[in-house]
């Protein structure tokens, strides 16, 4: 299964490198969100510092919709040929998960400094803790997006169905990453650690359950 997952992942990365159909639109959309936030909010406003974690994570999540939503759309447009191949369906999920994790990490690497500069809010002093929260949050979102993308890929209204499924499904994760980031700004290490543990638990659930049930998700 691992060998098949690596092969599919490499195929997707090669296609993305050639066409840039996933990362480029999502990246442009993410930067537009950062610019709109910069115009809409006064950087000198005192309360903006407390709003920054929520604004940052909402921006990253919304931009990531474009990337994770297209991961299975390519297969759907090709009549699901990959899903008909004689390989473990779990390998397909792991490959798409790897692709989505990579895309969301690149998006976050671009959007985080853009948000910080445009909103004039510095990142937390605990850089390691912030990167850990960001990485765990993005892995969880990518896993949930991969599962919901597979579930909605075969429908004609997948562009509308995916957000409708993914937003409620990832609400606990969004609450966790925003709260953990707020804890880092408030120098509340204990509170942030508890949220990080909760995020890690969600990540495990979002990865293991779809791997086990992926065959049923693709046949719905």
Q: CA–CA separation, 1 vs 185, rounded Å?
A: 42
pTM for this predicted structure: 0.84
Tens-digit pLDDT profile for residues 50-105 = 788 888 999 998 888 877 766 666 555 544 555 555 566 667 788 888 888 988 99
SS3 assignment for 23-48: HHHHHHHHHHHHHHHHHHCCCCCCCH
Q: CA–CA separation, 176 vs 192, rounded Å?
A: 9
CA-angle at 157, arms to 26 and 86, nearest 5°: 85
Closest Cα partner for 105 from 70, 72, 67, 77?
Answer: 67
Q: CA–CA separation, 171 vs 140, rounded Å?
A: 11
CB within 8 Å of 185: residues ≥ 6 apart:
49, 50, 52, 53, 124
Return per-residue pLDDT of the chain as tens, 220 residues: 666 667 677 777 777 677 666 677 778 888 888 888 888 877 666 667 778 888 899 999 888 887 776 666 655 554 455 555 556 666 778 888 888 898 899 889 999 999 888 888 888 888 888 999 999 999 999 988 888 877 776 666 666 777 787 888 888 899 999 999 988 887 676 677 889 999 999 999 988 888 887 766 666 5
């Amino acid at each position: 299964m691992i060998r098949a997952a690596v092969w599919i992942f490499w195929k997707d990365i090669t296609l993305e490198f050639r066409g840039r159909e996933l990362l480029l639109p999502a990246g442009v959309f993410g930067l537009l969100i950062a610019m709109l936030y910069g115009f809409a909010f006064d950087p000198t406003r005192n309360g903006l510092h407390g709003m920054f974690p929520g604004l940052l994570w909402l921006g990253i999540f919304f931009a990531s919709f474009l990337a994770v939503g297209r991961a299975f759309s390519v297969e759907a447009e090709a009549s699901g040929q990959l899903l008909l191949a004689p390989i473990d369906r779990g390998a397909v999920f792991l490959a798409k998960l790897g692709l989505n994790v990579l895309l969301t990490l690149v998006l976050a690497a671009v959007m985080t400094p853009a948000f910080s500069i445009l909103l004039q809010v510095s990142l937390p002093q605990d850089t390691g803790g912030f990167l850990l929260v960001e990485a765990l949050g993005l892995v969880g979102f990518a896993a949930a997006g991969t599962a919901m993308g597979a579930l909605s890929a075969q429908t004609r209204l997948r562009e509308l169905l995916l957000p409708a499924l993914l937003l409620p499904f990832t609400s606990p994760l969004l609450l966790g990453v925003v709260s953990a980031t707020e804890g880092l700004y408030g120098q509340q290490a204990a509170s942030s650690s508890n949220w990080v543990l909760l995020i890690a638990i969600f990540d495990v659930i979002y990865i293991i359950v779809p791997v086990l049930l992926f065959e049923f998700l693709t046949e719905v």
